[in-house]
Amino acid sequence: MNFSLVISNGTVVDGTGGEPYVADIGVRDGRIAAVTPGGGLSDADADEVIDATGLVVTPGFVDIHTHYDGQVTWDPMLTPSCWHGVTTAVMGNCGVGFAPVTEAKRQWLIGLMEGVEDIPGAALSEGIKWGWESFPQYLDEIDRLPLAIDVGTHVPHGSVRAYVMGERGARNEPASPEDIALMAKLVREGVEAGALGFSTSRTIAHKAIDGEPVPGTFAAEDELFAIGQALAAAGTGVFELAPAGIMGEDLAAPDREMDWMLRLAELTGRTVCFGLMQHDAVPDDWKRLLDLAAGAYEAGIPLRPQVPARPLGLLTGLQTFNAFSTRPSYLAAVERSAGDLDALVAALRDPAVRRAVLTESDSPTNKMPYLSQLDRTFNLGNPPEYEPAPEASLAREAERAGRDPFDYAYYLLLSDWGRALFFRPLLNYSEFTHDAIREMLVHPATAVGLGDGGAHAGAICDASNTTYLLTHWARDRTRGAQIPLATAVKKMTLDTATIYGLGDRGVIAEGKKADLNVIDFERLQLRPPAVEHDLPGGARRLLQRADGYRATIVSGQVVLRDGEDTGARPGALVRGAR
């Protein structure tokens, strides 16, 4: 038997949820050609053999919620997702993206993406190599790019609405019947050309850089249902959305959203996949919403809540923002330092500056007062801790040290020469525990996602959710029940691939696409996030790596070895049904 690659003697966690077993895996022509429990391929004729003795072998992870719509045009690796075992990334979520577009609206779409997803507009402006107008042309452009991993995308509501309605669409004015018909036509064309679905956002927390809510936020049912029926007519595609109320901004909204989403899923037969999280104001409401979705799921109606693997939280510090970010003396020190972190640390260590900052009040226009809640802010640490106990908060640490909490926080901000990061959970951490997250994760109706790879460059770094599922949930958790390794792997392989109709991947079986991870599970570990200036033009972003991925394989080729790029570019655009 001739193989391009043999992975021998690995502990196979095959993506089905079944018990792990030791086997050899043979790869030929980008596909899994043989899986032999107990071994048997070690003497086969192979171009390369990876000895996986003592290692875990999984399918490549399918991350269904990323925002690489611009980055894909300049970064073939799609970092940081590739560092966390992701071999297929689905972008174009939350109603934002870069097609369809007229030349006059390119900069406006950049401002929309910058505002909604916190991706530096200057980096997008410099990095994107425009070469399309229609959505099918955008897909063709991606298809020509050299890529390490596979990518798929949605048709974004914001782009479609602005393309059809111009300024009326950008300002969220009601759509006419003619507008709706044309939008539905464009969505169907995009899906029939290979888009994996359609996405929209209805939360007022998602705003363009000019402060205007993302187009589609207030779309009426006739608009939403016409687009849903366009997917039904095409016979393919997921309807993905960030629903109103997802950030806790409107506690009455979830019931209205559940009503129309349920009706849409039942009418069209297309999967409606919506974000679901726990809010501090109503910490048990997620249970009711999950029950409603579960009832629909059990009745065969494809309504699927999408949930993250850990709290949605901000990473705060001198390099991002913090409890002092709106105080006049702090802002003056930032201005004097002119972007030089060492200079900022030196300025803030001046006793006079320190006294001034600590005695001043926040600006009356401060839009992030929760950063001053030090009883809910934690040292992130190394390795990073995303399930800290209440007594680990900065306020409680300060109390034990006999110090004022803000004085203590100021002191910690300057540690590690200003590179220290703190974790401020905003959602999914109402009771200082991951128990709610676990219940959401293991439910058969839910999809794991919301990692936002490529987005929130200056505040959040959750593209490592896949690694966290393995380390925290399947191995390290001590403050509650864990999740079996086989279950954790299934949630981010077979389950996510199935939602998007990607039946050629997500499991280790003969004939399936040879997207695989070889993992030193005992050594697998997240590194702390760090601020890097590696976007086009030197713009900054938060990045997080991991140790323990021995090999990540796409279509039978090793694209990363011990976390480092091999130069192989077997990745491709994943098109839906055509």
Let me know: does 13 contact 516? Beta carbons within 8 Å: no
Cis amide bond preceding 383, omega within 30: yes
Percentage of the chain modeled with pLDDT above 90: 98
Let me know: does 75 contact 569? Beta carbons within 8 Å: no
Residue 43: the pLDDT is 77
Q: Which residue shows structure tokens 């090793």?
A: 558
pLDDT digits (tens, 9 = 90+) for 255-289: 999 999 999 999 999 999 999 999 999 999 999 99
332 burial via Cβ count (<10 Å: 0-12, 13-18, 19+): middle
Q: What is the DSSP string of 404-416?
A: -HHHHHHHHHTGG
Q: What is the DSSP string of 447-461?
A: EE----BT--TTT--
DSSP H or E stretch at residue 576: none
3-class secondary-structure state, position 37: strand
DSSP H or E stretch at residue 113: helix 106-117
Q: What is the pLDDT averaged over residues 378-402? A: 98
Percentage of the chain modeled with pLDDT above 70: 100
- Rounded CA separation 94/159 (Å): 11
Per-residue confidence at 544, pLDDT binned at 50, 70, 90?
Answer: very high
The yes-or-no verdict on residue 72 having pLDDT over 70 is yes
pLDDT digits (tens, 9 = 90+) for 185-243: 999 999 999 999 999 999 999 999 999 999 999 999 999 999 999 999 999 999 999 99
- Rounded CA separation 509/79 (Å): 28
DSSP H or E stretch at residue 518: strand 516-519
Residue 476: the pLDDT is 98
- Average pLDDT, whole number, for the chain? 97
Q: What is the pLDDT averaged over residues 410-420? A: 95
Task: Name the DSSP letter for residue 428.
Answer: S
Let me know: does 496 contact 449? Beta carbons within 8 Å: yes
Strands 31-37 and 525-526: unpaired
Nearest Cα residue to 275 out of 320, 313, 302, 308: 308
